């Protein structure tokens, strides 16, 4: 558990617990935990509460917090530089109705830089 009260799963190349940057109070909904079938470890993530308009929330998941979906998901624990870009990105329903990372200029630039840096 992080100082701000959120729970995180293991992340990074050494599968360490890394707390997210501070968030605004009240932006974290229920903590959702899934079991990573590869490692047998429980992976927990802070997920948003239901939207005020009654729409369904999107969930961040994966061992490194790199997935955005309409349900909690786990993944194998590997690390890629671009996964760090999702720590400050927004996982939400897009115009298509699907959950996805909102492609802000900051996210697009971060992903390009990370991918250009290579493995």
Q: What would the pLDDT profile of 13-29 be if each residue is shown by its tens digit? A: 555 655 555 444 445 55
- pLDDT for the residue 25: 40
CA dihedral (55, 19, 10, 113) positive or negative:
positive
CB contact at 8 A, 107 and 119: no
**Among candidates 74, 71, 76, which has minimal Cα distance to 99?**
71
Q: In Å, what is the CA distance from 101 to each residue of 40, 79, 118?
A: 27, 18, 21
pLDDT tens digits along 21-76: 544 444 555 566 666 666 666 666 665 555 555 567 888 888 888 999 988 888 88
């Amino acid at each position: 558990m992080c100082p701000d009260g959120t729970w995180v799963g293991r992340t990074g190349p050494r599968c360490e617990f890394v707390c997210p940057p501070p968030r605004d109070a009240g932006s974290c909904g229920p903590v959702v935990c899934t079991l990573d079938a590869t490692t047998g470890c429980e992976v927990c993530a802070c997920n948003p509460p239901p939207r005020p308009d009654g729409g369904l929330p999107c969930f961040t998941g994966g061992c490194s917090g790199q997935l955005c979906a309409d349900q909690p998901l786990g993944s194998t624990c590997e690390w890629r530089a671009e996964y760090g870009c999702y720590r400050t990105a927004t996982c939400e329903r897009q115009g298509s109705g699907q959950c996805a990372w909102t492609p802000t200029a900051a996210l697009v630039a971060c992903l390009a830089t990370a991918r250009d840096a290579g493995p």
